Chain A
């Protein structure tokens, strides 16, 4: 198993551009989530999904969209990039939506100029 795979590893955008961060897992996990990590602010939940077709907002959802059309994939879309979205983004999955270990991807370093 590859686990949780994120692409790209690094990305530079100009303000106003849009892009999609990809996340895929091959462990048949129901639960998938996106976090952003900023210095001194920990891991903040952006959006999450408890199964195909079901998504919900986390702590900081503004400026981001998600969809979950398959169990394996959970892409994160930046609609119009802003410098405030410069961050490290982590995708994570777990077998179910309740009290189980999160498996993290390796992260995407995004810079918005």
Chain B
């Protein structure tokens, strides 16, 4: 079936450390993998995405890597800051029927000063 698994469910780091969140997906035909950040009480917002024709993408302190053979992708946040504290969701685009975006269960990241 269409499934995205995300680990860990919670992550606690010290300010300045790096944080890594990992996701796996079930359909080898998936070709689009976005990451969303949701601050407390707010709506999810896209922070970075990657398509299957590239293996890595960076945007300042955030990077995403994709391993299509293993069907997993990861979010890397370097030099974490307290404002990075939020819930992060990975997602994958599935094309069974019409295209639809399926999300992982989320990772609650806490960055401690």
Contact = CB atoms under 8 A, between A and B. Distances in A.
A105 B45 CA distance: 10
Contacts of B6: 42
Most buried by A among B31, B46, B93, B98: B98
B105 A45 contact: no
Interface residues of B, number: 26
A35 B100 contact: no
A42 B31 CA distance: 21
Interface string B83-113: 0000001010100011111111110000000
Contacts of A33: 100-101
Interface in A1-46: 33, 35, 40-45
A101 B34 contact: yes
* Across the A-B interface, the 9 shortest Cβ-Cβ residue pairs: A99-B32, A42-B105, A104-B43, A43-B103, A97-B99, A42-B106, A101-B46, A42-B103, A50-B98
Given A42-B89, A43-B106, 15 more contacts: A42-B106, A43-B91, A45-B103, A48-B100, A50-B99, A56-B100, A58-B100, A59-B2, A97-B99, A99-B31, A99-B49, A102-B44, A102-B46, A104-B45, A105-B43
21 contacts: A33-B100, A33-B101, A41-B105, A42-B6, A42-B89, A42-B105, A42-B106, A43-B44, A43-B91, A45-B101, A48-B100, A54-B98, A58-B100, A59-B2, A90-B43, A99-B49, A101-B34, A102-B46, A104-B43, A104-B44, A107-B43
